[in-house]
Structure 1
């Protein structure tokens, strides 16, 4: 019975992360994305920590393949698996999951909202640091780094909104479904 509960929860959590990844493929405002919510959601609800890292990152990777080779294929020459600076973005995704494992060890509304805010800050700081470090556009100085963060600031508004909205929807939907299907209750099963 316990294994069946874990398999059902795994399927639901994985399915919700994959559905969220599909939103990256549809037209949306720049930087309004479910990526941070996917990482936080995986961190909160996968009982095995390695799945919390693997499933959201693979979902992002799969959506990146479609984005790079279908939606924005005209920006690349040939089939593109990785784009310039991808490791900064993926590094921030892994840090978001790590952050989520700590913050969401107990799932509560304040922790969910704090996680969404913190995840957006992690993405902003890491991804823009990568732009500064890898771009000749900014001097390699504190002033150049601050200029890079300043240039990225307008995009952070959509990141912040996306993180709050997607995190609220994913966690809210899961908690609602959990009321109907108690087998999804995580708090009683996180021992493993």
Structure 2
């Protein structure tokens, strides 16, 4: 394992551990770390595996729930959006990716709560009620995503500038292509 991959993995697991601390509903780092993993981990399988392993471990501690598949699918969308950020991680692209990920998570997780939890009638009105009930959670998720994206992307960007060994990707020697440069 390269120092870069080890650093990224430790950073992702440390942020995921924050999910276990008391927090406002949906104000967690999980979507931000999924976006970050998609944007930074070279191995696409690891980009899914690392945040999902962290999510599964925290769910094991917190408790499993119906609708988990929809929640995980929402985070998978953030990993996929992260893939689109790999070549160019500008502030505006990361911000747009953060917003898109939050909206995808909102749509999928609230659809899941409507579909599997039995809280709403299986009608169009019931689905709309599920989405309306989820709006306060969307606000919290967007605020949490924004904070944690700034911490992850900004913190790692600063660390890459300070520590040369973080800039070197697997299979490349020092002095070759630097992340973010073509």
Same structural fold, with TM-score higher than 0.5 when normalized by the shorter chain: yes
Distance in 1 of aligned mates of 2:52 and 2:45: 11
* Partner residue in 1 for 2:173: none
RMSD of Structure 2 on Structure 1 (CA) = 1.7
Distance in 2 of aligned mates of 1:165 and 1:157: 12
Q: Which runs of 5+ in 2 are unaligned?
A: 170-176
For residue 188 of structure 1, the aligned residue among 159, 178, 181 is 178
Distance in 1 of aligned mates of 2:38 and 2:153: 12
Moved over 6 A (4+): none
SS of structure 2 residue aligned to 1:27? coil
Counterparts in 2 of 1:103 and 1:146: CA distance versus 1, 3 Å: farther
The offset of 1:148, in angstroms, is: 0.7
For residue 96 of structure 2, the aligned residue among 103, 106, 114 is 114
Equivalenced residues, count? 172
For residue 134 of structure 1, the aligned residue among 88, 93, 116 is 116
Distance in 2 of aligned mates of 1:22 and 1:169: 15
Q: Deviations over 1:45-82 (max 9, x none)?
A: 111111111101101111111222xxxxxxxxxxxxx3
Distance in 2 of aligned mates of 1:189 and 1:156: 32
Q: Deviations over 1:87-115 (max 9, x none)?
A: 11111111221122124432111111111
Say if 2:16 and 2:54, in contact at 8 Å, map to a contact too: yes
Q: Which runs of 5+ in 1 are unaligned?
A: 1-5, 69-81
Counterparts in 2 of 1:44 and 1:156: CA distance versus 1, 3 Å: same
* Partner residue in 1 for 2:30: 35
The offset of 1:189, in angstroms, is: 5.8
* Partner residue in 2 for 1:60: 55
Distance in 1 of aligned mates of 2:122 and 2:87: 38
* Partner residue in 1 for 2:16: 21
For residue 156 of structure 1, the aligned residue among 138, 157, 167 is 138
* Partner residue in 1 for 2:45: 50
* Partner residue in 1 for 2:73: 91
Distance in 2 of aligned mates of 1:43 and 1:66: 25
**Greater shift in the superposed pair: 136-145 or 170-179:** 136-145
Q: How does 1:169-188 map to 2 (within 5 A)?
A: 169-185=151-167, 188=178
Say if 1:47 and 1:189, in contact at 8 Å, map to a contact too: no
The offset of 1:118, in angstroms, is: 1.0
Q: Deviations over 1:2-37 (max 9, x none)?
A: xxxx70110111011011011111111111000111
